[in-house]
């Protein structure tokens, strides 16, 4: 192992980090400690296992709790929350970019489930709106609201919404 700081080759194993037991190292010459290179969970999960990420988001959209989504997908609940935040930001960007000067429906249904963090609530709301507007076929319109408004020509999949399709 090469030291990140001084490029010495004199590093020794120095315990593990986290549940995934990522190897840590300490440089003998400068005493700095660092982890072995490892994949970050969130983006890595979304890119390396797009089906799993889409399935987790789909569960959340269908109203599953974080913990039941955790049990169904096998992803850790912290990963699921990070996915939710990522998906929410993306949904927000898509809606900001595509939905200009339209009449929109906001909060058709007041939910009785709230997030503990405002950032998580914002992400969840953005995701649900994007899903409602782009992915879910409206019963009375028979197409998605985005199609009705002429923004897109097809029903988006969750994977498309996440940008992994
Ligand atoms: Zn060093």
pLDDT tens string 80-113? 888 888 888 888 888 777 766 655 555 444 454 5
- Write out the H or E segment, with its range, that includes residue 60: helix 50-61
Interval between CA 8 and ligand 1 midpoint (Å) = 5
Interval between CA 20 and ligand 1 midpoint (Å) = 25
* Residue 115: count of CB within 10 angstroms of its CB: 15
Is the pLDDT assigned to residue 72 strictly greater than 80? yes
Interval between CA 26 and ligand 1 midpoint (Å) = 8
The burial of 132, by beta-carbon neighbours within 10 Å (0-12 exposed, 13-18 middle, 19 or more buried), is given as middle
Cα torsion angle, 63, 65, 70, 72, sign: negative
Average pLDDT, the chain: 77
User: Per the structure block, which two tokens stand in for 47?
Assistant: 């890119």
Q: How far is CA 1 from CA 4, 14, 20, 38, 151, in A?
A: 9, 12, 19, 14, 52
Interval between CA 43 and ligand 1 midpoint (Å) = 29
Give the pLDDT band (50/70/90) at residue 24.
Answer: very high
Interval between CA 39 and ligand 1 midpoint (Å) = 23
Is the pLDDT assigned to residue 12 strictly greater than 50? yes
What's the pLDDT at 15? 94
Interval between CA 31 and ligand 1 midpoint (Å) = 6
Phi, psi dihedrals of residue 131, rounded to the nearest 5°: -60, -45
Interval between CA 1 and ligand 1 midpoint (Å) = 10
C-alpha radius of gyration, the chain, whole number: 21
Q: Are 36 and 22 spatial neighbours (Cβ–Cβ below 8 Å)?
A: yes
User: Per the structure block, which two tokens stand in for 101?
Assistant: 């000067």
Domain boundaries, the chain: 1-38, 48-164
Interval between CA 44 and ligand 1 midpoint (Å) = 29
Comparing 138 with 16, the larger pLDDT belongs to: 16
What's the pLDDT at 134? 77
What's the pLDDT at 104? 52
Interval between CA 18 and ligand 1 midpoint (Å) = 23
Q: Percent of the chain at pLDDT above 70? A: 79
Highest mean pLDDT among 4-8, 44-48, 106-110, 112-116: 4-8
The DSSP secondary-structure symbol of 36 reads P
Q: Which range has the worst mean pLDDT, 9-13, 68-72, 145-149? A: 145-149
Interval between CA 21 and ligand 1 midpoint (Å) = 22
What's the pLDDT at 112? 44
Comparing 154 with 29, the larger pLDDT belongs to: 29
- Rounded to 10 deg, the angle between the 50-61 and 118-130 helix axes is 90
């Amino acid at each position: 192992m090469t030291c990140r700081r001084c490029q010495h080759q004199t590093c020794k194993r120095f315990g593990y980090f986290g549940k995934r037991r990522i190897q840590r190292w300490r440089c003998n010459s400068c005493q700095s400690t660092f982890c072995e290179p490892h994949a970050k969970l969130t983006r890595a999960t979304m890119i390396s296992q797009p089906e799993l990420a889409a399935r987790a988001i789909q569960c959340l959209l269908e109203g599953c709790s974080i913990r039941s989504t955790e049990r169904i997908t096998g992803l850790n609940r912290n990963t699921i929350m990070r996915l939710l935040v990522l998906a929410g930001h993306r949904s927000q960007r898509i809606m900001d970019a595509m939905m200009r000067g339209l009449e929109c429906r906001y909060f058709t249904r007041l939910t009785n489930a709230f997030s503990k963090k405002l950032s998580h609530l914002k992400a969840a709301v953005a995701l649900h709106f994007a899903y409602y507007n782009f992915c879910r076929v409206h019963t009375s319109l028979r197409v998605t609201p985005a199609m009705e408004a002429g923004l897109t020509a097809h029903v988006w999949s969750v994977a498309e919404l996440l940008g992994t399709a």
